[in-house]
Amino acid sequence: MGQVKGSILIIDDNEKILASLKMILQSEFAKVETLKNPNQINHILGKDSFDVILLDMNFAAGVNTGNEGIFWLNEIIKIDSEAIVVMITAYGDIDLAVKAMKLGATDFILKPWDNQKLIATLKTACKLRLSRLEVQNLKKKEKYLNEHIETRYSKIIGTSQVMQQVMSTIDKIASTEANVLILGENGTGKELIAREIHNRSSRKNELFVTLDMASLSETLFEGELFGYKKGAFTDAKEDRIGRIESASGGTLFLDEIGNLNMSLQSKLLTVLQNREIIPIGSNNPVPIDIRLISATNLEVGKLISTGRFREDLLYRINTITIEAPPLRKRGEDIIILAEHFLNRFARKYGRQTPILSKQAADKLLKYRWPGNVRELEHVIEKTIILTEGNTLQYSDFNFLSFDEDNTTNDSFNLEDVEKTTISKVLKQANGNISHAAEILGISRKTLYVKIVKYGL
């Protein structure tokens, strides 16, 4: 049958039996460990896991009740509810072995055993363990989906030349496994681009998992990305699957990766190099298979030159670069998007979809949209709520920072653009950080960090 990738733990107080079983099994399985003292079960299972545990029914000298085996079976199941335990028993203890199976054992073998039957039983048990772990992983992913269920995302909308270039790049790279870095201001639709890549890839039927890197503190980073085992720390009440493991088989989208500090960059690089993660509280690496898409609104070259971003990490995440154009560069897409949002919010608020007057449309085209598509969406929703007519007029759209004579003064420094944008949006939001963060499409915490950074 050949060696299988399975690990076996044999627990028996008879050293001769341990030696005999190890000699028989070590050529058939990837790892075979033995344990003479069952009092060490908790210790060995705390630092390692096994596909199958071969457990004797009797340990105390001269005692053949089988109660010892039942006791240790229960202890093993307490540690790992999905453990595969095969009992070793004498012919006269078959009733006890059946009792053990009712209590959670998978199978039993009789002394003296037939070597080929023993090997076949353990290989079948290994396959069962693999199936259980796959089901367990699916349940964890389902739980993740239920906890992080997201609203339905729109398709990318627009026919401008700059968006046609973006879509052309997506067409070329979606079917590959290339890692992608998406650059662009806040609110330009970087996540929509990432989702479009995923939806056109061979991974489209698997998970698309997102994580805002700027929202994570160093203390939360490992638990959120790598997951943890029950009891790993005070609040770890149960096993939790991390974002990276959840995305295995699918796509992981890391937003605002430019805000990640150097220590966390190093940990992320290790994961990408080794293609495995180790949950907190575990010593067992978990292999991962992800396609990575990252995004940032910062100038990565400047971050590297100032020592704020690892160049080797950039090489890992930046096989292909896509630039998400700001809304002010998309021309008539502004009107197309506005009409899309008008339809959506009219349905949401149960009213007839209004149309844009020529003057209103011209005003939307002249505005610089510092918050990009996210701001346009917010403005349209607010207008739908506050207006009653079937035609939207110039005066129905009020922008505190609107200046018709200043529509082409573009800065090409991303940090300057970001500072200017945040300043304008804060004015528009009358200093309300929550409202400004909503317009910009970032978290309140992220906006506060940027306000401090730029001294606004």
The pLDDT tens digits of the residues spanning 102-123 come to: 888 888 888 888 899 899 999 9
Of 15-19, 216-220, 260-264, 293-297, least confident by mean pLDDT is 216-220
Both 185 and 106 in a single domain? Answer: no
In the chain, the largest separation of any two C-alpha atoms, in whole Å, equals: 98
Q: How many angstroms separate the CA atoms of 203 and 30, rounded?
A: 31
The pLDDT value given to residue 43? 86
pLDDT band at 424 (very low <50, low <70, confident <90, very high): confident
Both 22 and 119 in a single domain? Answer: yes
The pLDDT value given to residue 159? 92
State how many domains the chain has. Answer: 3
The pLDDT value given to residue 288? 92
Look at 415 and 126; give whichever has higher pLDDT.
126
Distance spanning both ends of the chain, measured CA to CA: 70
* φ/ψ bin of 372: left (φ > 0), alpha (ψ from -120 to 50), beta (otherwise): left
pLDDT band at 92 (very low <50, low <70, confident <90, very high): low
Residue 310: pLDDT above 60? yes
Q: How many angstroms separate the CA atoms of 78 and 82, rounded?
A: 10
pLDDT band at 130 (very low <50, low <70, confident <90, very high): confident
CATH code at position 357: 1.10.8.60
Both 313 and 340 in a single domain? Answer: no
- Helix 115-147 to helix 15-25 angle (10° resolution) is 80
Question: Is residue 218 assigned to a domain?
Answer: yes
Both 267 and 410 in a single domain? Answer: no
CATH code at position 308: 3.40.50.300
Look at 404 and 419; give whichever has higher pLDDT.
419
Both 358 and 312 in a single domain? Answer: no
User: Given 298, 323, 348, which residue is the final one in a domain?
Assistant: 323
The pLDDT value given to residue 144? 59
The pLDDT value given to residue 401? 55
Residue with the two structure tokens 């009797």: 58
| Arithmetic mean of pLDDT over the chain | 85
The pLDDT value given to residue 407? 43
Residue 234: pLDDT above 80? no
pLDDT band at 202 (very low <50, low <70, confident <90, very high): very high
Q: What average pLDDT does range 147-154 have in this prediction?
A: 51
The pLDDT value given to residue 136? 72
Among candidates 118, 103, 99, which has minimal Cα distance to 27? 118
Question: Is residue 156 assigned to a domain?
Answer: no
Both 177 and 319 in a single domain? Answer: yes
Residue 427: pLDDT above 90? no
pLDDT band at 296 (very low <50, low <70, confident <90, very high): very high
Q: Which two tokens stand for residue 140?
A: 């964890």
Quote the distance between the C-alpha of residue 90 and its chain's center: 49
User: Given 135, 170, 205, which residue is the final one in a domain?
Assistant: 135
Pairing of strands 240-241, 227-228: antiparallel
> What percent of the chain is modeled with pLDDT above 90?
41
pLDDT band at 150 (very low <50, low <70, confident <90, very high): very low
Q: What is the secondary structure of 217-286 as a DSSP string? A: -HHHHHHHHHEE-TTSSTT--S-EE-HHHHHTTSEEEEETGGG--HHHHHHHHHHHHHTEE--BT----E
Question: Is residue 147 assigned to a domain?
Answer: no
Q: How many CB atoms lie within 10 A of CB 148?
A: 13
Q: How many angstroms separate the CA atoms of 456 and 435, rounded?
A: 16
Both 318 and 332 in a single domain? Answer: no
pTM here is 0.61
Q: What average pLDDT does range 302-316 have in this prediction?
A: 91
Q: What average pLDDT does range 199-215 have in this prediction?
A: 89
What separation in angstroms does the CA of 222 have from each of 50, 99, 155, 195, 246? 25, 42, 32, 24, 14
Both 120 and 174 in a single domain? Answer: no
Q: What average pLDDT does range 341-358 have in this prediction?
A: 93
Question: Is residue 154 assigned to a domain?
Answer: no
Q: What average pLDDT does range 126-144 have in this prediction?
A: 74
CA 447-333-164 angle, to 5 degrees, is: 100
What separation in angstroms does the CA of 2 have from each of 51, 125, 218, 387? 17, 15, 46, 75
Q: What average pLDDT does range 318-325 have in this prediction?
A: 95
The domain in which residue 445 lies consists of 327-454
> What percent of the chain is modeled with pLDDT above 70?
90
Both 109 and 173 in a single domain? Answer: no
Q: What average pLDDT does range 350-371 have in this prediction?
A: 93
pLDDT band at 62 (very low <50, low <70, confident <90, very high): very low
Residue 398: pLDDT above 60? yes
The pLDDT value given to residue 404? 47
Both 350 and 446 in a single domain? Answer: yes
Q: What average pLDDT does range 81-98 have in this prediction?
A: 80
Both 217 and 304 in a single domain? Answer: yes
Both 266 and 373 in a single domain? Answer: no
